[in-house]
Amino acid sequence: MKTQKALYWSALVLLTAIMLFSAFNYFTKYEMIAGFFEHLSYPTYLIYPLAIAKILGLIAIWGNFSSWLREWAYAGFFFDTLLAFFAHYITDGQDYLFAFIALIATLIAYFTGRELRP
């Protein structure tokens, strides 16, 4: 049980750090992020809503308001990291490691957290 708790909290902290770093960059380095989005063939109007969604998702997970809301937050992070991974992998063939780590952290936090947090 201790191993599972350590795995859960480590994955959740890693996921939180990645999402906060991402949201921070979306707000503070818009032009650079817009260039990345254009390179990956994503529309740039998604930058601010995606940053806000990441912050709200973290609030939903850490706040533990309801299991339904937490499930949707994890689903959002899963699709965000999965699409980021494939976008980087297909367009660049590189720079996908960060998205892959976020995807794995999302899956670990979700599946271990289901048993630990009611």
* pLDDT band at 118; cut points 50, 70, 90: low
Q: What's the rounded Cα separation, in Å, for the pair 113 and 109?
A: 6
Report residue 40: phi and psi, to 5°. Answer: -90, 5
Q: What does the pLDDT look like over 5-45, one tens digit per residue?
A: 999 999 999 999 999 999 999 999 999 999 988 988 889 99
Question: Which pTM was predicted?
Answer: 0.90
Q: Which two tokens stand for residue 5?
A: 């708790």
Q: What does the pLDDT look like over 91-108, one tens digit per residue?
A: 876 778 889 999 999 999
Continuous H helices in the chain: 2-28, 30-39, 47-63, 67-91, 97-116
Domain ranges of the chain: 2-116
- pLDDT recorded at residue 41: 83
Q: How many residues in total does the chain contain?
A: 118
